[in-house]
């Protein structure tokens, strides 16, 4: 078996959902010549970012459930209130830089 050595190969596997960031990030950084310490720090930054994104997804889901509970129309039949809730959720989902810098 031939090990992955190209950042492009790692990116393709990650983009297609074959590997997760916990596998992709160290492989790509190792291929670029990063040290174990740099890889460890990058993983910690990414884990922190993932936790933040998950919290934002949960908040958006809660907002959507509340909109449905209030009888507010959702995508396909948006009322102004539903659109405002959706816009708020989309704004919260905008990514920061990948490495948290």
Q: Where are the domains of the chain?
A: 53-101
**At 91, is the pLDDT very low, low, confident or very high (cuts 50, 70, 90)?**
low
The mean pLDDT of 58-81, rounded to a whole number, is: 69
Cα–Cα distance, 47 to 55 (Å, whole number): 13
- Categorize the per-residue pLDDT at 1 as very low, low, confident or very high, splitting at 50, 70 and 90: very low
The more confident residue out of 7 and 101 is 7
Quote the pLDDT of residue 79. 60
What local confidence, expressed as pLDDT, does residue 3 receive?
A: 60
pLDDT confidence bin for 39, thresholds 50/70/90: very high
Cβ burial, residue 70 (10 Å; 0-12/13-18/19+)? exposed
């Amino acid at each position: 078996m031939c090990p992955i050595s190209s950042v492009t190969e790692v990116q393709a596997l990650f983009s297609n959902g074959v590997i997760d960031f916990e596998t992709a990030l160290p492989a790509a950084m190792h291929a670029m010549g990063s040290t174990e310490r740099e890889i460890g720090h990058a993983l910690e930054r990414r884990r922190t970012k993932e936790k933040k994104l998950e919290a934002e997804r949960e908040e958006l889901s809660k907002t959507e459930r509340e909109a449905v509970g209030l009888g507010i129309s959702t995508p396909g039949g948006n009322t102004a209130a539903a659109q405002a809730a959706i816009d708020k959720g989309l704004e919260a989902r905008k990514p920061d830089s990948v490495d948290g810098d």
